[in-house]
Chains A and B, each alone.
Chain A
Amino acid sequence: MRRLREAWQGFKVGTWLGWQIESNWTEPFLFAIYSVIKPVAGVLILVFMYLVVAQGGLQNPLFPQVFLGTTFYLYVVNVLSGISWTVTDDREHYGMLKYAYMAPMHFYGYLLGRGMAKTLVATISVLITLAFGIVFLRVQLSFRNPGLLLVGLPLGLAALAFYGILLAGVSLLIARHGWMVGDVVAGGLYLLCGTAFPLSLLPSPFRALGLGLPPTYWLEALRRALLGQGLHPELSALSDAQLLLILTGATVLGIALSVGIFRAAERVAARRGLLDMQTMY
């Protein structure tokens, strides 16, 4: 009971702090760059490549699929990798990890809260990018299946947060280069999860890997919900309900793995004296 209250406490203060850091309202210019200009610029680069490489330009039915995948991938970077960057940031940059860690609040809850803040900020970016796509790139959203969206979106976001904590555990053990964990994973998922191109373009071992990763199913569910159809023929046999079931399974697995791995990582970090390691100063 008490532990639960401490977890809630951690979640609340983590969210507050995360929001203060991420949104940095005192510098609206920086905030605009990070949450508006950067994601939109990312999409524009994609549009440009698309016009050069693909035939039929923006009229190609593949384009909205790719646009949507890239837009929602913003969540993967911000939430999944973001949470693991938090550990490195707090430890190396702010020197605060040890204080957050030795406080009676639940550290896991605190990290979830930091993830919550990242999710909120990413949502702003995603909405702006979507609006940009609808207005300037003529992307048509159909909202064919609002149920799939309302269940699938939060389910996937929760899963991203849990796997983010798993990565945070790994970052905890990599003193100097902890941020790399988030970078490498984000890059890998971009390529493997059918974000910007169909899985069928991948060599078959990588395709199999992509089919084993939850974000693939999440993006597919979002595509079906918002565009009326998915991208990958490999997944077309799955019903919407089956997709959601897979996402639920992945989320539950994420909870179990993240709790277990984070705990183990904490123990190793305490043994090696990594919790307050500052290597850059």
Chain B
Amino acid sequence: MAQEALAVKTEELTRVFRLRKREAREGRREILALDRVNLEVPRGELFGLLGPNGAGKTTLIKILATLLAPTSGRAFVAGVDVVANPAEVRRHINMVCGGETSGYGLLTVEENLWMFAQFYGIPSREARRRIRELLSLVGLADRAKTKVYHLSSGMRQKMNIVRGFLTDPEILFLDEPTLGLDVQTARTIREFVRNWLREHPDRTILLTTHYMHEADELCDRVAIIDRGRILACAAPSELKHMLQREAVFRLYVEGVADARAALDGMPGVRALAQEAEDGRLRLDLILAEEGVLVSVLSRLQEAGAKLAELRKEEPTLEDVFLALVGRRLTEGTP
């Protein structure tokens, strides 16, 4: 069956959250968290969902993990309908969520993990072998006998990562696996994920993140998601290639606090983001072509801005997002 070759497939997947009256946001009682999402993730892929806060990443993962029912549309994991047959889906998956403090604090790391392996019916001896191996791979072996409430949040997160891989799932969902971790720990985890997939090429990982480096560095393909909609989906290099004909510049100017008024709506300016930095204003510009820069600079000069620095940048996924959405990733969903 064609569907079996796909680890994940969604058809017009939609999720609406209804809010209570007193929870209404700007008068709206309904949040469209996922808006007719169509995705196909073949087996063996490390697929990334890149989007700002509130984009709908976690909502999608929860539906695929059988924790949340869709409002409409369908989703298949390992070829199985998540609504019609959740028990079967659960035999193929596992999930790790970053930035949370889950776990039984009064059990040790080893006990927590062993218990979790029992959830999946993994024989005790095999479970202990895997726990030892995985703990040493993430550098937590010396904490095996430590009670979980004594762990730092980074260590807890490493334990949770081990929890995800322990069951050797066909399809693994990682929801912001490096959220809130220090650089070193995040790197360890990324490296671990990459190596694991190299050694298990038939496994699939669906990872969400709002760090563009993470998506760029790790993922075979990336879907850019905003306000519940998939805006683009391709390999990171292809996504960046979309901006090839355009020109990406970074400017630092002095003397103005806001350049939007001057540049918004100018012909040839595809997207603009600005941010105050060290008393100057940083402008990230995506232009239809390099030639537009001349008129941009003169327009800025008219507005009283003085150019302090100008760089031509290689396009990043951040720029792709900016070009698609008109906001920076880190700005979140308004």
B165 at the interface (CB under 8 A from A): no
Report whether B119 and A103 are in contact in the complex, using a CB–CB cutoff of 8 Å.
Answer: yes
Chain B nearest CB from A122 CB (Å) reads 20
Kindly state the separation between the CA atoms of A273 and B18 in the bound complex, as whole angstroms. Answer: 11
Q: Is B273 positioned at the interface, with any CB of A under 8 Å from its CB?
A: no
Tell whether B310 is near chain A: CB-to-CB under 8 Å. no
Are the CB atoms of A17 and B104 closer together than 8 Å?
A: yes
One of A1-9, A199-207, A219-227 contacting the partner? A1-9
Determine if B232 is an interface residue (Cβ-Cβ < 8 Å).
Answer: no
B118 CB–A CB distance under 8 Å: yes
Could you say which interface size class chain B belongs to? 20 to 34
Contact of B118 (CB < 8 Å), options: A9, A26, A96, A275:
A9
User: Knowing A21-B104, A104-B121, A270-B69 touch, does A3 contact B95 (C-beta < 8 A)?
Assistant: no
Q: Are B87 and A273 in contact (CB under 8 A)?
A: no
Q: Which residues in B have their C-beta under 8 angstroms from that of A10?
A: 119
A103 to B169, CA, bound (A): 11
Knowing A26-B106, A94-B104, say if A99 contacts B119 (CB, 8 Å). yes
For B67, B87, B95, B106, which residue has the most chain A Cβ atoms within 10 angstroms? B67
Q: If A13-B115, A13-B118, A104-B120 touch, does A20 touch B62 (CB 8 Å cutoff)?
A: no
B106 touches A104 (CB 8 A): no
What is the distance, in angstroms, from B159's C-beta to the closest C-beta of chain A?
Answer: 12
In the bound complex, do residue A95 and residue B119 qualify as a contact, i.e. CB atoms below 8 Å apart? no
Cα A101 to Cα B120 in complex, Å, equals 11
Instruction: Kindly count the residue-residue contacts between A and B in the assembled complex, taking CB atoms under 8 Å apart.
Output: 79
Beta-carbon contact of B67 and A98 below 8 Å: yes
B17, B105, B118: most-surrounded residue (chain A CB, <10 A)? B118
B257 contacts partner chain A, Cβ-Cβ < 8 Å: no
Interface contact B115-A17, CB-CB below 8 Å:
yes
Contact present for B121 and A9 (CB under 8 Å): yes
Residues B69 and A6 in contact, CB atoms below 8 Å apart: no
B116 contacts the other chain (Cβ, under 8 Å)? yes
Q: CB within 8 Å of A: which residues of B? A: 17, 62, 65-69, 87, 90-91, 93, 95, 100-107, 111, 115-116, 118-121, 163
Residues of A within 8 A of B (CB): 3, 5-6, 9-10, 12-13, 16-17, 20-21, 24, 26, 94-96, 98-105, 110, 267, 270-271, 273, 275-276, 281
Supply 5 A–B pairs (Cβ within 8 Å), ascending by A: A6-B121, A95-B102, A98-B65, A102-B90, A103-B90
